[in-house]
């Protein structure tokens, strides 16, 4: 066990864990942030995505210790982010979820995209979401939500 | 209107409660699995009760407390729970209006209702639902003939609602079963054998002690192995430790075989299908084409095993205390699961309580029920602590019950006018009926995965042929079209290699794929436009309208070189929702199918939640497109080889077409189940569009580049 210090959702948080523990288990079980979902533990589905220094990262496999220097934002804190809030509102407006298991990861990916590129082209949106799997088939409404959020971001 | 659910639960108090604070609680036996049934049910009740849907809470079904409405399956939830709650709410309203009239001393006709407050017109006097009824039972039966609102007065029904829980879903706060945290909770994982037929030969004696030093408990019950502990990641690592210490009798493994050949050569139960249902009669031999037949065509269509492929692996919480078992599960049928676990563990059903909790979308009978038994086995071994057990990705891919592989032979003859004068369709597959329903020989337990690995396993369950109309293999086998000389046969094939059960639309996907592609083949042979060919064989006006809606949208697409278009149609089980799908696609130089456009038309009777219905139709179409283009469960002697998303790829955002959806609303008409109707038509539309684009008729799913190249070389 080692003491790990992480900056999560704007707070400095400490926890004693095995240093090889993937970030997702620290977020979910130590900090109670369950927005990052366990989907594959293979970095194949995107359900576990969080932001690290504004970029989308997958939390299911990489040790939490690798993120000691990063500012981590999870889906739970996106409402305090101007772009994150727009993305969440657009997902609600477009009812862009069915079961909702993949949704926090998609919201994170869309936020990371719009932070880097406020006016993405259609193929850039699809490419940003392409490593995220959705089994319910809510893809079309998710794409609509990201376009909707992008329109808002570009305007303001 | 008669309802199976009301026959079983006739009392109003089984369905609706008014709390002292005025909130209204709906009880339902149908569970929300992302199909937004709770959103639609709340709209239906809100309409009849004259309250805003936000005043309504919908329970998560719990055994012993909420109505037993069987399984949330077969696209029945709106027809069963929707109608039951509509009449329950209408009965409750009428009852409260009568009580209000008495309390206020006025005639019922002089009362009006606004947001749960009943007011005497032209006076200030009023009484609320909460004041009349808060916390008190109604003590009356639901009147199935209670007058319901006229569609013209609907305020909520037919609108697009924001799904319940949506704000929490986007903020990551929606609590899935996987996110549950209880005091002193243990995390658990199963250590699976290498394949179905392996049994534990030996386990290194020291492993339990080594794990104990890491604060991990080993559970061993026959060949069932699991680990549990407080630290989830330590538990995950312990799986590897146990796997390395376990020696398995592998037996003969899974027999590598060509299932498409076995579907025709293995032992089977064969039955003719008449009017949508099998009959206990000999299968009629094929007859020669009738007089007047100008042309006869035959073709074989095939689909592989498909998986449900939930994004969240199955999970369950179980807690064994004082000889009672509490379970939370994302099962679609908590009552049948309770009885099956009762059989599996040999404890009385009344000592088991199962509450539904949200899981990832399941689309049929996936690993949810199995995970509940797994958690119960661990909880029984470690009494006193709640146990949250999760499957891994590899387990979900490798151990869930799949939708069966299927092979179908079709043959039809046309007369000189292009009419079908003889039609034969035989459909071969494994069972879809392997949900854990209890019965003689511990039939429920036998269908829960880990039962097989316990020291005293129940006898293997051998399903008989499903005999009702449009079940399993013969779902949508009987075409809706006016085809003369029908010969329909279902073959329940024995001895196939993989575990199967219910996957969204059951045999409807395979049968409609075959029928609707074969119709295009026939139309081409007759030189008739495929839409016109369909319409000329259909008298049902709603079917014709649905096809025409999709066809019109397709006709409006701008011409694009190199692309092909196709259409498919079905009415689910010939009695539920109608759906027509039109697709535009191209086949790229890399032999990949690129989807460009989809037009979806559906008639599901009265539309309740427009957004929810559209999501079911669009989601069903994209899931079926994924099955059709990409998916096939593979295996070899060592077990299932589709073990993750790379070895079992599914549709991604880069191949999502532009979708236009038309919902034909029929206010006042019965709800028609809609969650599965679009799957078969989508497969056929894609097959027909590939043919239109390339001249290649693909008859075996999935349409992967290898299949397209092979077809191109053969053609």
3-state secondary structure of B487: strand
Contact A130 B167 (CB under 8 A): no
Same domain, B479 and B571: yes
Same domain, A15 and A70: yes
Within B187-258, residue ranges assigned H as helices are 207-212, 232-245
Contact B172 A104 (CB under 8 A): yes
Residue B187: which pLDDT band, with cuts at 50, 70 and 90?
very high
Residue B304 within a domain: no
Same domain, A83 and A72: no
Last residue of a domain, one of B356, B377, B399: B399
Residue B620 within a domain: yes
Question: Is the ipTM beyond the 0.95 threshold?
Answer: yes
List of chain B residues whose C-beta atoms are within 8 Å of the C-beta of residue A76: 171-173
Last residue of a domain, one of B381, B399, B417: B399
Same domain, B210 and B90: no
What's chain B's average pLDDT?
97
The count of other CB atoms within 10 Å of the CB of residue B323 is 9
Same domain, B115 and B195: no
- The pLDDT of residue B443 is 97
From the list B277, B10, B23, the residue with the least C-alpha distance to B135 is: B23
Mean pLDDT over residues A71-78, rounded?
98
Same domain, B55 and B192: no
Tokens, residue A75? 């889906």
Separation in Å, CA of A27 to nearest CA in chain B: 11
Q: Write out the H or E segment, with its range, that includes residue B518.
A: helix B507-526
Residue B262 within a domain: no
Separation in Å, CA of A155 to nearest CA in chain B: 22
| CA–CA dist B657, B360 (Å, integer) | 24
Phi, psi angle pair for B621, to nearest 5°: -65, -45
Cis before B529 (ω within 30): no
Residue B168: which pLDDT band, with cuts at 50, 70 and 90?
very high
From the list B447, B440, B180, the residue with the least C-alpha distance to B326 is: B180
| CA–CA dist A88, A103 (Å, integer) | 10
Residue A32 within a domain: yes
Tokens, residue B244? 């390395």
| CA–CA dist B615, B621 (Å, integer) | 10
Interface mutation target, options B169, B229, B237, B239, chain A, most CBs of A under 10 Å: B169
| CA–CA dist B662, B440 (Å, integer) | 47
Residue B259 within a domain: no
Last residue of a domain, one of A26, A60, A77: A77
Q: Which residue of A has its CA nearest to B160?
A: A95
Radius of gyration of chain B (CA): 27
Residue B706 within a domain: yes
Same domain, A147 and A84: yes
Give the sheet arrangement for strand B117-120, strand by strand. B111-114, B117-120, B126-128
In percent, the amount of chain B with pLDDT more than 70 equals 100
Lowest mean pLDDT among B73-82, B137-146, B270-279, B526-535: B73-82
C-alpha angle B240-B638-B372 in degrees, rounded to nearest 5: 55
Lowest mean pLDDT among B75-79, B390-394, B487-491, B564-568: B75-79
- The pLDDT of residue B715 is 76
- The pLDDT of residue B462 is 96
Q: For residue B24, what is the domain's CATH number? A: 3.30.365.10
Residue A51 within a domain: yes
Q: Write out the H or E segment, with its range, that includes residue B94.
A: helix B83-104
Same domain, A111 and A62: no
Q: What is the DSSP letter of B222?
A: T
Mean pLDDT over residues A62-88, rounded?
97
Contact B162 A95 (CB under 8 A): yes
Residue numbers of A between 93 and 122 with CB closer than 8 Å to B? 95, 97-104, 107
From the list B272, B298, B300, the residue with the least C-alpha distance to B510 is: B300
Within B353-496, residue ranges assigned H as helices are 368-381, 393-399, 443-446
Same domain, A63 and A124: no
Contact A139 B622 (CB under 8 A): yes
Q: Which residue of B has its CA nearest to A22?
A: B233
Mean pLDDT over residues B312-333, rounded?
97
List of chain A residues whose C-beta atoms are within 8 Å of the C-beta of residue B658: 140
Residue B336 within a domain: yes
| CA–CA dist B671, B692 (Å, integer) | 35
Q: For residue A68, what is the domain's CATH number? A: 3.10.20.30
Segments forming the whole domain that contains residue A63: 2-77
Residue numbers of A between 7 and 66 with CB closer than 8 Å to B? 17-18, 20-22, 25, 28-29, 32-42, 44-45, 47
Q: For residue A109, what is the domain's CATH number? A: 1.10.150.120
Same domain, B388 and B412: no
Mean pLDDT over residues B370-384, rounded?
98
CA distances from A88 to A21, B8, B256, B541 (A): 29, 42, 48, 42
Give per-residue pLDDT as tens, B494-528: 999 999 999 999 999 999 999 999 999 999 999 99
Phi, psi angle pair for B294, to nearest 5°: -95, -30
Q: What is the DSSP letter of A22?
A: B
Residue B118 within a domain: yes
Same domain, A72 and A105: no
- The pLDDT of residue A52 is 98
| CA–CA dist B708, B693 (Å, integer) | 12
Interface mutation target, options A38, A102, A144, chain B, most CBs of B under 10 Å: A38
Q: Does A139 touch chain B (CB under 8 A)?
A: yes
HEC profile of B10-76: CEHHHCEEECCCCCEEECCCCCCCCCCHHHHHHHHHHHHHCCCHHHEEECCCECCCCCCCCCCCCCC
Q: Which residue of B has its CA nearest to A43?
A: B645
Contact A129 B166 (CB under 8 A): no
Q: How far is CA B560 from the centre of its chain?
A: 36
Residue A64: which pLDDT band, with cuts at 50, 70 and 90?
very high
| CA–CA dist B705, A44 (Å, integer) | 22
- The pLDDT of residue B179 is 98
Same domain, A73 and A93: no
Same domain, A84 and A58: no
Same domain, B637 and B512: yes
Give per-residue pLDDT as tens, B517-561: 999 999 999 999 999 999 999 999 999 999 999 999 999 999 999
From the list B536, B409, B530, the residue with the least C-alpha distance to B482 is: B536
In the predicted structure, residue B388 carries a pLDDT above the cut 80? yes
In the predicted structure, residue B367 carries a pLDDT above the cut 90? yes
Same domain, A10 and A68: yes
Separation in Å, CA of A102 to nearest CA in chain B: 7
Q: Does B185 touch chain A (CB under 8 A)?
A: no
Judge contact between B87 and B1, C-beta under 8 A: yes
- The pLDDT of residue B2 is 57
Beta strands of B357-405 (E only): which ranges? 386-390
From the list B72, A39, B192, the residue with the least C-alpha distance to A28 is: A39
In the predicted structure, residue A156 carries a pLDDT above the cut 60? no
Last residue of a domain, one of B94, B129, B163: B163
Tokens, residue B256? 């590598």
- The pLDDT of residue B323 is 92
- Count: domains in chain A: 2
Residue A141 within a domain: yes
| CA–CA dist B15, A152 (Å, integer) | 43
Q: Does B233 touch chain A (CB under 8 A)?
A: yes
**pTM recorded for the entire structure:** 0.98
Segments forming the whole domain that contains residue B387: 178-251+310-399
Same domain, B604 and B525: yes
- Count: domains in chain B: 3
In the predicted structure, residue A32 carries a pLDDT above the cut 70? yes
Same domain, A71 and A124: no
Mean pLDDT over residues B52-81, rounded?
94
- The pLDDT of residue A153 is 74
Q: What is the DSSP letter of B554?
A: H
The count of other CB atoms within 10 Å of the CB of residue B102 is 12
| CA–CA dist B358, B534 (Å, integer) | 41
Same domain, B496 and B638: yes
| CA–CA dist B519, B684 (Å, integer) | 10
Last residue of a domain, one of A77, A108, A135: A77
Residue B299 within a domain: no
Same domain, A69 and A88: no
Q: Does B147 touch chain A (CB under 8 A)?
A: no
Last residue of a domain, one of A77, A106, A131: A77
Contact A99 B34 (CB under 8 A): yes
Q: Does A133 touch chain B (CB under 8 A)?
A: yes
For chain B, the farthest-separated pair of C-alpha atoms sits apart, in whole angstroms, at 85
3-state secondary structure of B191: strand
Of B178, B232, B621, the CB nearest to A137: B621
Residue A62 within a domain: yes
Give per-residue pLDDT as tens, A43-61: 999 999 999 999 999 999 9
Same domain, B580 and B707: yes
Give per-residue pLDDT as tens, B602-631: 999 999 999 999 999 999 999 999 999 999
- The pLDDT of residue B256 is 87
Same domain, A108 and A69: no
Cis before B702 (ω within 30): yes
Mean pLDDT over residues B315-333, rounded?
97
In the predicted structure, residue B572 carries a pLDDT above the cut 80? yes
Q: Does A148 touch chain B (CB under 8 A)?
A: no
Residue A109 within a domain: yes
- The bridge status of strand B486-493 relative to strand B268-274 is antiparallel
């Amino acid at each position: 066990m080692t003491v790990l210090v992480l900056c999560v959702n704007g707070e400095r948080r400490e926890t004693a864990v095995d240093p090889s523990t993937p970030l997702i288990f620290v977020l979910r079980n130590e900090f109670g942030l369950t927005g990052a979902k366990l989907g594959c533990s293979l970095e194949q589905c995107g359900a576990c995505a969080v932001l690290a220094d504004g970029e989308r990262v997958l939390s299911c496999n990489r040790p939490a210790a690798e993120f000691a220097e990063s500012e981590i934002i999870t889906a739970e804190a996106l409402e305090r982010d101007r772009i994150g809030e727009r993305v969440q509102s657009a997902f609600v407006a477009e009812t862009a979820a069915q079961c909702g298991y993949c949704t926090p990861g998609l919201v994170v990916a869309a936020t990371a995209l719009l932070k880097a590129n406020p006016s993405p082209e259609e193929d850039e949106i699809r490419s940003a979401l392409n490593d995220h799997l959705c089994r319910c088939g809510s893809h079309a409404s998710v794409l609509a939500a990201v376009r909707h959020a992008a329109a808002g971001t570009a305007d303001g | 209107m008669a309802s199976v659910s009301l026959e079983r639960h006739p009392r109003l108090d089984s369905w609706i409660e008014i709390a002292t604070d005025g909130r209204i609680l709906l009880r339902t036996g149908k569970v929300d699995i992302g199909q937004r049934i709770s959103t639609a049910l709340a709209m239906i009740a809100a309409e009849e009760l004259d309250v805003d849907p936000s005043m309504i809470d919908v329970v998560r079904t719990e055994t012993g407390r909420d109505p037993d409405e069987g399984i949330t399956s077969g696209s029945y939830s709106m027809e069963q729970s929707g109608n039951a709650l509509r009449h329950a709410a209408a009965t409750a309203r009428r009852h409260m209006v009568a009580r209000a009239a008495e309390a206020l001393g006025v005639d019922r006709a002089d009362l009006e209702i606004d947001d749960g407050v009943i007011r005497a017109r032209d006076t200030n006097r009023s009484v609320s639902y909460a004041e009349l009824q808060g916390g008190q039972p109604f003590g009356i039966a639901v009147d199935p003939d209670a007058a319901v609102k006229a569609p013209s007065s609907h305020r909520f029904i037919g609108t697009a609602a924001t799904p319940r829980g949506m704000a929490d879903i986007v903020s990551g706060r929606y609590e899935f079963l996987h996110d549950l945290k209880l005091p002193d909770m243990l995390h658990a994982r199963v250590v699976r054998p290498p394949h179905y037929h392996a049994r534990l030969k030996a386990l290194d004696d020291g492993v339990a002690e080594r794990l104990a030093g890491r604060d991990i408990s080993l559970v061993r019950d026959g060949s069932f192995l699991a680990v549990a502990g407080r630290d989830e990641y330590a538990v995950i690592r312990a799986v590897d430790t146990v796997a390395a210490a376990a020696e398995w009798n592998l037996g003969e493994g899974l027999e590598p075989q060509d299932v498409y050949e076995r579907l025709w050569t293995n032992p089977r139960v064969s039955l003719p299908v008449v009017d949508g249902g099998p009959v206990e009669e000999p299968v009629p031999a094929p007859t020669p084409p009738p007089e007047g037949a100008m042309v006869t065509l035959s073709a074989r269509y095939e689909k592989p095993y498909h998986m449900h492929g939930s994004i969240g692996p199955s999970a369950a919480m179980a807690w064994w205390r004082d000889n009672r078992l509490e379970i939370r599960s994302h099962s679609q049928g908590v009552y049948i699961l309770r009885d099956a676990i009762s059989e599996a563990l040999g404890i009385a059903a009344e000592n088991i309580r199962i509450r539904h909790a949200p899981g990832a979308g399941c689309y049929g009978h996936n690993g949810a029920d199995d995970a509940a038994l797994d958690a119960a086995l661990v909880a029984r071994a470690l009494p006193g602590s709640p146990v949250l057990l999760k499957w891994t990705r590899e387990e979900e891919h490798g151990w869930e019950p799949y939708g069966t592989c299927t092979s179908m032979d079709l043959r039809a003859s046309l007369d000189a006018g292009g009419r079908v004068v003889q039609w034969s369709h035989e459909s071969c597959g494994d069972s879809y009926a392997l949900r854990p329903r209890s019965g003689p020989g511990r039939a429920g337990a036998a269908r829960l995965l880990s039962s097989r690995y316990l020291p005293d396993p129940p006898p293997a369950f051998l399903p008989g042929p499903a005999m009702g109309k449009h079940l399993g293999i013969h779902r949508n086998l009987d075409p809706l079209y006016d085809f003369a000389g029908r010969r329909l046969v279902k073959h329940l094939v024995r001895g196939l290699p993989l575990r199967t059960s219910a996957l969204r639309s059951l045999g409807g996907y395979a049968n409609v794929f075959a029928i609707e592609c074969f119709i295009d083949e026939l139309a081409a042979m007759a030189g008739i436009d495929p839409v016109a060919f369909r319409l000329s064989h259909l008298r049902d006006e709603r079917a014709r309208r649905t096809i025409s809606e999709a066809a019109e949208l397709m006709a409006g697409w701008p011409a694009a070189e190199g692309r092909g278009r196709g259409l498919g149609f079905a009415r689910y089980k010939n009695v539920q929702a109608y759906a027509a799908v039109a697709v535009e696609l191209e086949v790229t130089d890399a032999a990949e199918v690129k989807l460009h456009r989809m037009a979806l038309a559906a008639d599901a009777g009265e539309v309740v939640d427009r957004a929810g219905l559209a999501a079911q139709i669009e989601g069903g179409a994209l899931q079926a497109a994924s099955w059709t283009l990409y998916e096939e469960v593979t295996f070899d002697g060592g077990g299932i080889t589709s073990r993750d998303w790379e070895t079992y790829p599914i549709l991604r955002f880069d191949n999502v077409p532009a979708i236009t959806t038309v919902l034909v609303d029929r206010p006042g008409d019965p709800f028609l189940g809609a969650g599965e109707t679009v799957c078969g038509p989508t497969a056929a539309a894609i097959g027909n569009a590939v043919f239109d684009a390339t001249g290649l008729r693909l008859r075996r799913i999935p349409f992967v580049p290898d299949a397209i190249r092979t077809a191109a070389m053969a053609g």
